[in-house]
Amino acid sequence: MKSRKINVSEEDRIVRDAYERLVKTYAGSNHRGKFEIIDKAFKIACQAHKGVKREDGMPYITHPLSVAQIVCEEIGLGSTSICAALLHDVVEDADYKVEDIEKVFGGKIASIVDGLTKIPDEFSTGSVQADTMRKLLLTMASDIRVILVKLADRLHNMRTLGICSPAKKYKISGETMFLYAPLAHRLGLNTIKSELEDLCFKYEHPKEFENIERKLEATSGNREAIYEHFASPLYPALDKLGIVYKMQERVKSLRSIWDKMQAKKVGFEDIYDIFAVRIIFKPLPDIDVKKQCWDIYSVVTDLYKFKPDRIRDFVSQPKANGYRALHLTVMGPDGHWIEVQIRSEQMDDIAEKGLAAHWKYKEYKEDINPADEPAELDRWLGTIHDILENPNPDSLDFLDTIKLNLYASEIFAFTPKGEIRTLPQGASTLDFAYDIHSSVGDRCIGAKVNHQLVPLSYKLNSGDQVEIITSRSQIPQPEWLNFVVSAKAKTKIDIFLKKLKKAKIAEGERIVDKFLRDGGMEPTQQILDKVTFIFEFRKKEDFYYAVAAKQIELPENPQKIFKEKSGNLFFGYLKKFIGVKASSKGKETNILTSSPTEKIKYDRKKTYVLDEEDFQKKYLLPECCSPIPGDKVLGYARSDGWLEIHKISCEKALRLKSQDGKNIISCLWAGHKAISLPCRIELKGIDRMGILIDISKIITYDMSVNVRRMMIDTNDGMFSGTIEVSIHDVDDINNMISRLLKVKGVSDAKRVEG
């Protein structure tokens, strides 16, 4: 996308046409016709953004107009949300205050606009992105519309992201994948969620996006033939039911196809469930909708054999985001497994538009009654309330906690009295206890699942009946965090443990104070900072905690530490108490306290070239994703001066993009042929005599590559294992994998991430 120059008259026409389209869309909705307030919001927004341009050269007012259009047309909200969308940037970018908005438009619109306004840098506690999200969710807890308008804002930003610099694309798309797409999913906005994911995929992996898009287009004729062959016998059979229906093919999103390719380590051609079939019907009057779903199910299974373990009844038990449908997978006439989704028109509307469709079918007009919202959503908002009640939350931990379970699959468990509880996949009995009440979780010592005694860590299955056993003497333990997966449980345990840690820190501070005074030293700020540094801690609080918890020992005389700081005693303390590699000659240093040879000020709008001679002088390759030359990567400018390189798809990079995006740097590899880097290959196949020799020959002799480690297991005629080698770049590893796959007996060879 390129910016273009447009004249004033053309600008006026573009803005006028966009506003007329918005008004026309609103007039065609079922909301009350509050045109005057929308017109007032539009005029104020025009004045506030007058003369300002977006990066693509368009008048800035086109952005809030586009957001309002999405809010009205694609989400289905009314005048309050439309006005908030039109005004959502006036406080942040113009001389308007929230109080000004409230005077003209009232408290509801002002509250939403306030929730959408970013926190200025000077008021941030560490991460502007995290603090702004916290503020947004704080508003959402009282008015869900704020997050719906924000999702519309993010969707338009993603649709127009092409003009931005690579670093900004990484920041915004990372933030979107980390939180906004999961939030759209959690609120049932499936159409928006899928588009957000596809746009992130497009900007972060453009070549892969274009490749899958091209292959989908090339295979569309074959899919259409398979669909028609499958659907043809169904039409007359469904007609006999006397219902009005439509049957359609639904192709997987590009992102979901790519995710499956990555998870299974296969090519596009090996993904067989590219599309599903939807049967959407208009319910007959006076007949239960659930019965009609099962009548259609019977028609499908009379014609095609179904897969028993792939039946999903979300009609009787909807998903937490309100999704309802009947799913089954059948063997089609061409030998392909095909998923069939059966929905009523209302179910389909809710599946695509989520919460807004709930309001539509409950005949919502302008005001929202929280009591009428879907029960599961109300419970989720309650969890948000619990998290926000944390008196001293860390912004980054807060974001991680919010994200938790947004995408998780769900299970359903029952209390002894038959009350159903929805929990994330992998939930333990401890999660169940906290879901009942935080006090029950805090005192939980075990449970009975289906009348059998089980521990706190026991993983529940759908349909389990759970009875929690408590004790008044029980308190949360640090290891409990390893047992739970739900946001509510993690938050409650974390709050309790932080209170305990605070007490330990105070105890450690008293010990260190006495230690220094007994040695004839005044515990000044400067002295405490030096002692903290000597023991390799970044924060005094962490140092105090380690002292109180007896994780480190203090020497008899503090004076010696300072006198011999550069000598062997100092490094001896590090080795003994901290366990890091250290040398008084400076040959080995702890990466957390060492600095690069040259600190660089990075231009966020430019791409930094990763020269081979700068490796371990200016930039580092962390083990979380083990990037090698040829991988698509980005950089993270750390506070200590190092540039940390991550793969674009790395989970840690996703967190950094969403929480500290201002320090994300676009990077590009230069040639790397002198330095060898570790890389692991996973092998599987049929065992035979001499196969290990053939594999070793290719690696060592044909490729002249050094083997760092090899672990191979055999069982029942099959072998599997990993080989760690030292290579230069992606071309080396791809060439090696290609050769290994030609070895007789090797059925699979792939690079292992991290």
Q: Are the C-beta atoms of 739 and 708 separated by less than 8 Å? A: no
Please state the separation of Cα 609 from the chain's center in Å. Answer: 28
* 701 burial type by CB count under 10 A (0-12 exposed, 13-18 middle, 19+ buried): exposed
Residue type, 403: K
Please state the separation of Cα 446 from the chain's center in Å. Answer: 32
CA-only gyration radius of the chain, Å: 30
Alpha-carbon distance 81 to 729, whole Å? 51
Q: Are the C-beta atoms of 286 and 349 separated by less than 8 Å? A: no
Alpha-carbon distance 383 to 377, whole Å? 10
Q: List, edge to edge, every strand of the sheet that includes 337-344.
A: 244-251, 275-282, 337-344, 326-331, 312-313
Tokens of 522: 């005044």
List 92, 224, 228, 603, catalytic entry: 92
List 55, 73, 93, 564, catalytic entry: 93
Alpha-carbon distance 212 to 310, whole Å? 27
All residues at 6 or more sequence positions from 578 whose CB lies less than 8 Å from its CB, including other chains: 535, 536, 552
Nearest to 326 by CA among 307, 309, 306, 347: 347
Nearest to 231 by CA among 192, 169, 171, 277: 277
Q: Are the C-beta atoms of 513 and 501 separated by less than 8 Å? A: no
Give, for 710, the enclosing helix (H) or strand (E): strand 706-715
Instruction: Indicate if 92 belongs to the active site.
Output: yes
Q: Please name every residue paired with 281 in a beta bridge, in sequence order, or none if there are none.
A: 245, 344
3-state DSSP assignment of residue 355: helix
3-state DSSP assignment of residue 522: coil
Instruction: Indicate if 228 belongs to the active site.
Output: no
Tokens of 302: 């009379």
Q: Phi then psi for 387, rounded to 5 degrees?
A: -65, -40
Catalytic residue IDs: 92-93
